[in-house]
Structure 1
Amino acid sequence: MPEATKGVLFGLSAYTLWGCFPLYFALFAGVPSYEVLIHRVVWSCLFLAIVVSVMGRWAPIKAALSEPKNLGFVLGCALFIGLNWGIYIYAVESRQVLQASLGYFLTPLVNVALGLLVLRESISRLQAVAVVLAAVAIVYQLVLLGVVPWISLLLAFSFGTYGLLRKKVALDGLSGLFVETLLLLPVGLLALGWLSMIEQSHFTDTPVMALLLMSSGIVTAIPLLFFAGAARRLRLSTIGFLMYVNPTLQFVLALLVFNEPLSDEKLLSFVMIWLALGLYSWSAWRGRKPPERV
């Protein structure tokens, strides 16, 4: 099988699993999102340690941990990915998967905006139009629906900021995620101890719930491993197109499984985001040509 085909299969597997996450996190009904997040951090760290050991990838991790003064950006990554995970779990538990879907549709456009504002990158006119159109869609929701889509915005900006900080970290995806969760591990363990002390922990409710909470580590790591396999074999532009599988699946699940209402106003805001993504994708596709600068 050609390497490019393997890469596409790995990429589709990763984004399909991420897109199906609402089905998984919906199983934690009755467990507060912050407790699910705590377990996700703890068990992810344990499972990733096993994976790193099996793959013999301790060298870059030891090198990173030997220089604590250089871990500032890694800590920033850890905080933002933790925030992203927590908001996402809350969105699923509160049956706001449509907002989560919108957040991940917005993410690439937020990346473009952050690149322009923070890194002072030049962007094409089409990319600029795409960002403006996405902003109009958010303002439209605010004006006509009278609500700020805060879940969508927090998901998009937390993951976008995570990606921005990740550029400053000289670690591959697997090693980076392990160090990030390792930095959060002490807080996670303290939080678990506190929940047990006040008898608010759901870990011992039933054997099934205990297994579900423990499985969060595996569920976190497996898509990442698939994604790493795709990233080694595919061009960045190809991976960029595949990433839309994730929010598209979430959008479909929100409508067909979670039966979330989709008003005409909300649908129009999605259409504006999709148009913005279309412009962004077209700009990325023709990226080999010299772009018009703004």
Structure 2
Amino acid sequence: MNQLRLGYLYGVGAYLIWGFFPIYLKLLRPAGPVEILAHRILWSVAFVALLLAATRHAGFLRKLARRPRALAGIGLAAALIAVNWGTYIYGVNSDRVVETALGYFINPLVSVLFGVFLLRERLRPAQWAALGVGAFAVAVLTVDYGRLPWLALTLAFSFAGYGLVKKRLALPATEGLFVESAVLALPALAYLGWLSARGDSTFGHVSAGHTALLVLAGAATAIPLLLFAGAANRLPLSTVGMLQYLAPILQLGCGVLIFHEPMPPVRLAGFALVWLALMVFTADALHHSHRTRSAARTQPPTPTPPQAADLALTAPAKGAKNPHRGPEVQDRRSRGRSQRKS
């Protein structure tokens, strides 16, 4: 199997897991959102630690300990992903899967917004149009919900912020997830201990299957991230960007078709506007990428300057006889110098 096909396999696998993740989270009831979050953090640490030990990559921790700014960035990334995970778990377990899907549809537009205001990036007209349509979609959905879709906006902004911090840190997927989860492990363990002391913990008290599902939350968190990293290393960025819409489409399908959440006409119109914004944004990105590649192919090659070694071969040293002159010329000059001396 070639690398491109393997990249597609990894990418589709990652987004399929994320797309059907609401079904998995529903199976973790009657555990509450914070308890599920705490278990997800702890078992992620355990699962990724086993991976690092098996691949013998644990030495990166010593190098990371000598980078205090990177550690501070990891702390910020950990806080953002905890907010994102916690909000998502709350949304699924409070029967708002459709709104969580909206958050991940909006996320690419929020990432563009961060690029403008935080990285001082300049947008093309089509990108500004996509942002305008996205903002109008949020206004329509606000009218439908009777409030701001704060759950969707929290998911979109927290994950966009997490992506921005991760881009600056440039850590490998496995190592980054381990350190982020390790930062959150102590408060997660403290919460679970407090919950158990109160007698409110569900771990080990519901069924063997429920306990096993809580333990497997670590693998369910780490595996799609590793698959995504494998896809990102093998596929063009534009392809990865197109694949990312697979997860919220599946989440929306879970909410409407499996969990029977309502989708009134105004809400559907708001989603349609979000999809329109994403279509404009994606089409512009693909067009710009195609133009950039075409310009690179048609640009004439820069002539290579002569090397110093070539010049040394063609230019004789000062005072030396030129080996390219004929022997009769060199003999005539030698006889002329002899006559002048006599």
TM-score with structure 2 length normalisation?
Answer: 0.82
1:272 correspondence with 2:273: yes
1:14 correspondence with 2:14: yes
1:23/1:129 CA distance change after superposition, 3 Å: same
Q: Corresponding residue for 1:47?
A: 47
Paired residues of 1:80 and 1:158 also in contact (CA < 8 A): yes
1:194 Cα deviation after fit: 1.0
1:60/1:124 CA distance change after superposition, 3 Å: farther
Opposite residue 280 of structure 2, the aligned amino acid is L
Opposite residue 237 of structure 1, the aligned amino acid is S
CA distance in 2, matches of 1:219, 1:25: 10
Q: Deviations over 1:60-87 (max 9, x none)?
A: 3331134345311111100000110011
1:144 Cα deviation after fit: 4.4
Paired residues of 2:15 and 2:244 also in contact (CA < 8 A): yes
Mean Cα deviation higher: 170-179 or 281-290: 281-290
CA distance in 2, matches of 1:126, 1:172: 33
Opposite residue 257 of structure 1, the aligned amino acid is I
State the secondary structure of the residue aligned to 1:121: coil
Opposite residue 264 of structure 1, the aligned amino acid is P
Paired residues of 2:140 and 2:267 also in contact (CA < 8 A): no
Q: Kindly name which structure, 1 or 2, has the bigger radius of gyration based on alpha carbons.
A: 2
5+ residue gaps, structure 2, are: 293-342
1:234/1:146 CA distance change after superposition, 3 Å: same
RMSD of aligned Cα (Å): 1.3
1:207 correspondence with 2:208: yes
Q: Corresponding residue for 2:336?
A: none
Paired residues of 1:102 and 1:247 also in contact (CA < 8 A): yes
Q: Corresponding residue for 1:217?
A: 218
1:123 Cα deviation after fit: 1.5
Paired residues of 2:144 and 2:267 also in contact (CA < 8 A): no
Q: Corresponding residue for 1:261?
A: 262
1:123 correspondence with 2:147: no
Runs of 4+ in 1 over 3 A off after TM superposition: 66-70
1:142 Cα deviation after fit: 1.8
CA distance in 1, matches of 2:52, 2:81: 20
State the secondary structure of the residue aligned to 2:233: helix
Q: Corresponding residue for 1:246?
A: 247
1:197 Cα deviation after fit: 1.3
CA distance in 1, matches of 2:263, 2:245: 20
Opposite residue 50 of structure 2, the aligned amino acid is I
CA distance in 1, matches of 2:234, 2:49: 25
Q: Corresponding residue for 2:34?
A: 34
Q: Corresponding residue for 1:195?
A: 195
State the secondary structure of the residue aligned to 2:230: helix
1:51 Cα deviation after fit: 1.0
CA distance in 2, matches of 1:86, 1:62: 30
The equivalences for 1:149-168 within 5 A come to 149-168=149-168
The equivalences for 1:13-162 within 5 A come to 13-162=13-162
Paired residues of 2:11 and 2:227 also in contact (CA < 8 A): yes
1:24/1:121 CA distance change after superposition, 3 Å: same
TM-score with structure 1 length normalisation?
Answer: 0.95
CA distance in 2, matches of 1:71, 1:77: 10
CA distance in 2, matches of 1:61, 1:5: 33
5+ residue gaps, structure 1, are: none
1:234 correspondence with 2:242: no
- Among the aligned pairs, what percent are the same residue? 40
Opposite residue 11 of structure 1, the aligned amino acid is G
Q: Deviations over 1:7-37 (max 9, x none)?
A: 0011000001100101100101221101000
Opposite residue 172 of structure 1, the aligned amino acid is P
CA distance in 2, matches of 1:144, 1:219: 34
CA distance in 1, matches of 2:144, 2:261: 19
Paired residues of 2:173 and 2:225 also in contact (CA < 8 A): yes
1:59 Cα deviation after fit: 3.0
1:199/1:145 CA distance change after superposition, 3 Å: closer
Q: Which has the higher contact order (CA 8 A, sep 6+)?
A: 1
